[in-house]
Structure 1
């Protein structure tokens, strides 16, 4: 338990790009295109060595060692990946005649061990599911131990792999299956986590909102000696939203290359207010909705019990959800088209096959571009949602935000298209963004059980009726109800308040409340929740009245302006000017150069 008024450290991540590069030995400037090329050479060496090491270790004995967590001398394996690899004798290999510093080898082994440790859990789960799989019926037997329970989505994927394997094998062998039997070695990401090395490879310094990263880079794609690895200082700007934060430590970044060049994925540690779940009496419940990303409601604990006004807050995604649905449908269409061309290319003549492979490459490139665009929109949507809910909770004086546990949440019953669309929504990113944003103001995000939150009454805990369709909920016994998502938010906030003394903390995860408690929540006529601020757009008049001509002045022909958008937010013109349309037209139009100069420094 933490004491209110104190601060605790918290790590977060951000991205930036270098705008200048200097040779550390001669202080001469280096072009950014040259830096991108040298970074690509280093990433190619790391990626090839990592892929070779993963393929060489792709056998059951590797996962047995990682699952046991012991080396050959029965000593516990350390947490550092490069130390564990050195103790187990896992060393990468490089092309003949290529010199790679030992600190770069640390990066390779650290990333490899991290990947294999993640897959060790999948290996154990696959073995457990294969033991309960019946190849005749294609179904799983119920689990007999608590350790055999795995998420439903993971179970369905493994069952499909098992069915396909037994269909190809044509036998009903009951040997224990491993992850190496049902899938190939994974493809590793092309990146370099500099945090696995020490100051001999890279250093970081921050002064006056400028980040300087000193790192060793090769001077050619196949360095033959130590002299062909030289230090370079990369100078990058820290994002403006971090200038006022209480950052205590800056960590070494991860180097990646995208379509724009070198990208630094940095991490830092800041001081935030210490969370205190037992101090406040107000909680916010966030319900994930199939119509929008989420909705929130507030419950307050008083001396006479729990109260709520049952008027929640529905998040407005500003049309991003529709854009994501369109991009998702486009990506699925490209995937189906590429799969069809792949099937045709398998039996086509050589000249036709070459043409089809070219088309498949174009489709894959378009699909990758759609995926990148979806990722950017999901990130923007998640952090905007986190900021909106955090402001809502801060205005209400809440100290805890209860969200549905995503591990027990599964979308179904809304049709194939809607189920797929809701399953691919950015809920996990939204939870992370909400936890990050709320921690900055001292509000704690906890996970609460999701079962029954939209179907049970917060007052009497009976099943709700649906008099107005799916999106409405009503309890005739308590005479309360309203929007289905708002009622679910009340239930989530109630469970967060009642279970805050039984919070389970796990490393790397948000606090969890696993106990479902009930207490009646009565409807209070007093306004307990804040009114969320929503942008109001000035609607443009479709028609403009004819101006009265002045005496002695010839009447000019009035040309009606084109129809403007209803989302026009241009401020109305002063009364002294005569406006003939939805926008005020300046007397002397600005040149393109002046407009560009005015936008350049904003």
Structure 2
């Protein structure tokens, strides 16, 4: 089986760290230049075979987990030490400037940038660590510090406008001072905590190093930062073979205590037959089941041309369910829609997520209360309370893991449903609400929190991944006013039937408010398809919401959603198996009266409730004497 999508693909190792497949002339899905574009995706797998690369001797998977744990401990300890040593404002000034000591621009690779700046980790005396492992450490630390550099700039901007006495912040004066509202609220809580610790003696300008401590580097090995001297990956049929150098002791003293191990893992079945061109080195982590590979690959998908889109699907995030969708079509006469949408059925997973969220919050409150009690309890009571707190934290972690699995399942199921709906309608673009401008308010503290912790962001990621596989683009459009304004006249909608209904008396259109919002979102995508802002690592976005009337179309443009019906089986009477050699009783229906019969039976006389014996009426058709039984 060819995993690259064609049988005539040639293989070569043109870059260190992964194997590249060059599709031949008969590659599936490629009909000419611009017909397919590469995109990266991630997946997970686990090794099932491990052998020593030099001798070929088998190695137990438990031993591999132990050796990988030693590698991760070295990386986490060195990364935490380097992050603590660099936890100064000057570090973030250098990262914000993006220049080294010679004024050269810092490269995007974290390990190369750290090498130019002289930021190298330190290891304990007597411990030998290869230079490629040092690359992994510096790459992970630089990724963390570059992420926190944005937070440092936001804290600096907000602290200058924050009043510790009143707890309020002044509005921004410069365009670069604006930050998302949710992020600003989190920074405000940090500034209030810092003001309480310093007795409201706040300086005019704070940095991230003033309000929080250095981060802890996660115990993982991002092998993509290294080269073939540390690890390499090769596909072999339905399997991936990873050769990685692992320590043979927790404190390796020399080069001889680092040996290569060849691990073999199965490629997931859903990747078979896809046009995969690159297999990238994985990130190694340890969980409760052992070693886990977080892999990445590059495949070819159909190109999405937003400029020629004429049919769009708008996806509105709904508080009652995960989302709803509707279709808007553009033709020479203008925009039109049938205002009949598709509402996603979460199969009860939303209720289960709400229950798990409530359970997790209850466990958190109980653990916090026991922590306060343990602070002033006697030593013997404190030991028992700490044991209970450990159990509660373990249960809360398990609840969080279960919520994560359900959110992922819910997001991908929603993505497949919406993608099938868009593909059946012939849509070229799917418009989703921009989550950076979407904030749940006005539904109460519990419902706001529940909506904020829903799987919307995972659903967007899954939708972009699934839709790209069929050549449909996903863009983010402004969310404001999508459920409150009429798609035809852009006037406020009435709510004659309550919150979930919408009606415009001027255009005589309406229906479910989520479907109306989907029409508005699809309209904004079609009107702004030539003004798309593309950001690295993010969805294409349309910043300005334009308006054009959307007329009601009587034509059926949207597909009819499938409604599976359950087969009703009557089980009130048990099925009786006839005994062998016994003929079942035959029930012969009574003969129907002929339409040519003219003699009708004489109705009985007297009261219907009388108990008098009545004679049987004379039959309408005389019966021959020879037919009567004696």
2:517 matched residue in structure 1: 488
- CA–CA separation in structure 1 for the residues paired with 2:200 and 2:143: 35
Q: State the TM-score, normalized to the length of structure 2.
A: 0.85
- Write the distance in 2 (CA, Å) between the matches of 1:297 and 1:410: 22
Partner residue in 2 for 1:159: 188
Confirm or deny: 8 A CA contact 1:310 1:487 kept in the other structure.
Answer: yes
C-alpha change, 1:75 and 1:551, in structure 2 (3 Å) is: closer
- Secondary structure of 2:308's counterpart equals coil
User: How far is the alpha carbon of 1:323 from its aligned partner?
Assistant: 1.2
Residue in 2 that maps onto 1:123:
152
What is aligned with 2:220? 191
- What residue number does 2:540 align with? 511
Identify the residue that residue 322 of structure 1 maps to in structure 2.
351
Correspondence 1:201 to 2:230: yes
Q: Distance in 1 between matches of 2:182 and 2:399?
A: 24
Question: Which residue pairs with 2:319 in the alignment?
Answer: 290
* Structure 1 residue aligned with 2:390: 361
Q: Distance in 1 between matches of 2:91 and 2:578?
A: 90
Question: Could you list the per-position Cα deviations for residues 280-335 of structure 1 after superposition, in whole angstroms to 9, with x for gaps in the alignment?
Answer: 31000000011111110000112211111111001111111111111111111111
* Alpha-carbon distance, 1:531 to partner: 1.2
Alignment partner, residue 604 of structure 2: none
Q: Does 1:395 align with 2:424?
A: yes
1:407-447 Cα shifts (integer Å, max 9, x gaps): 00001111111111100011111111100111111100000
Pairing 1:231-246 to 2, within 5 Å after superposition: 231-246=260-275
Residue 404 (structure 2) aligns with: 375
Aligned to 1:271: 300
Partner of 1:429: 458
CA contact (8 A) 1:253 1:266 kept: yes
1:532 is matched with 561
Per the alignment, residue 101 of structure 1 pairs with: 130
CA pair 273-140 structure 1, distance change in 2 beyond 3 A: same
Q: How many residues align?
A: 553
2:8 equivalent in structure 1 = none
Partner Cα distance (1:67, 1:138) in 2: 28
What is the rounded CA distance, in whole Å, between the counterparts of 1:98 and 1:379 in structure 2?
Answer: 41
* 8 Å CA contact retained: 1:255, 1:264: yes
Distance 1:24 1:542, change over 3 A: same
- How many angstroms apart in 2 are the aligned matches of 1:415 and 1:10? 41
Match of 2:85 among 56, 65, 74: 56
- The partner residue of 2:112 within 83, 96, 103 is 83
Which stretch shows the higher mean deviation, 370-379 or 159-168? 159-168
Question: 1:488 and 1:272 mapped to 2: Cα distance?
Answer: 30
Pick from 478, 497, 507 the counterpart of residue 449 of structure 1: 478
Q: Which residue of 2 aligns with 1:464?
A: 493
Q: Shift of residue 59 of structure 1?
A: 1.4
Distance change (3 Å), C-alpha of 1:546 and 1:285: same
User: What pairs up with 1:38-57 in 2 under 5 angstroms?
Assistant: 38-57=67-86
- SS at the partner of 1:490? helix
| 1:278 partner SS | helix
1:476 aligns to 2:501 (yes or no): no
Once the two structures are TM-superposed, the CA of residue 6 in structure 1 deviates from its matched residue by 1.2
Q: Secondary structure at the match of 2:474?
A: strand
In the alignment, the residues of structure 1 paired with residue 292 and residue 212 of structure 2 have an alpha-carbon distance, to the nearest angstrom, of: 31
Deviates further, 528-537 or 141-150: 528-537
Question: Residue 287 of structure 2 corresponds to which residue in structure 1?
Answer: 258
* Equivalent pair of 2:276/2:300 in contact (CA under 8 Å): yes
| Uncovered stretches (5+) of structure 1, i.e. residues with no partner | 556-602
Please report how far the alpha carbon of residue 173 of structure 1 lies from its aligned counterpart in structure 2 after TM superposition: 3.3
2:15 matched to which residue of 1?
Answer: none
What residue is the counterpart of 2:335 in the other structure? 306
Deviation of residue 174 (structure 1)?
3.3
Q: Kindly state the Cα deviation for residue 188 of structure 1 after the two structures are TM-superposed.
A: 2.3
* Residue of structure 1 aligned with 2:440, choices 407, 411, 429: 411
CA shift, 1:551, in A, is: 13
Aligned to 1:146: 175
> Is contact 1:310-1:490 (8 Å) kept?
yes
For 1:64 and 1:244, the matched residues in 2 are separated by 48
1:133 aligns with 2:162: yes
Verify the 8 A CA contact 1:10 1:269 in the aligned structure 2: yes
Q: Say if 1:4 and 1:274, in contact at 8 Å, map to a contact too.
A: no
Alpha-carbon distance in 2 for matches of 1:103, 1:5: 37
User: Deviation at 1:541?
Assistant: 3.9
How many Å separate the matches in 2 of 1:365 and 1:509? 34
Could you list the per-position Cα deviations for residues 487-541 of structure 1 after superposition, in whole angstroms to 9, with x for gaps in the alignment?
A: 0000000000111011111111111111111111111111110012233323454
CA distance in 2, matches of 1:316, 1:355: 45
1:522 maps to: 551
Contact residue 78 and residue 123 of structure 2 kept, 8 A: yes
What is the Cα deviation at residue 5 of structure 1?
5.8
Question: Is this contact kept in 1: 2:165–2:200, CA < 8 A?
Answer: no
CA distance in 1, matches of 2:200, 2:271: 60
Q: Deviations over 1:424-473 (max 9, x none)?
A: 01111111110011111110000000000000001111100111111111
Counterpart pick for 1:339 among 359, 368, 384:
368
* 1:171 CA drift (Å): 3.5
Instruction: Determine the structure 2 residue equivalent to 1:168.
Output: 197
- Displacement, 1:18? 0.6
CA drift at 1:61: 1.2
Equivalent residue number for residue 140 of structure 2: 111
Query: For 2:389 and 2:216, how far apart are their aligned partners in 1?
Result: 20
In structure 2, the gaps of 5 or more residues are 1-31, 585-630
Q: Displacement of 1:186 after TM fit?
A: 1.9
In the alignment, the residues of structure 2 paired with residue 455 and residue 542 of structure 1 have an alpha-carbon distance, to the nearest angstrom, of: 50
User: Quick one: distance in 1 between partners of 2:203 and 2:468?
Assistant: 50
- Aligned equivalents of 2:570 and 2:191: distance in 1? 63
User: What's 2:603 paired with?
Assistant: none
Question: 1:274, CA displacement in angstroms?
Answer: 1.1
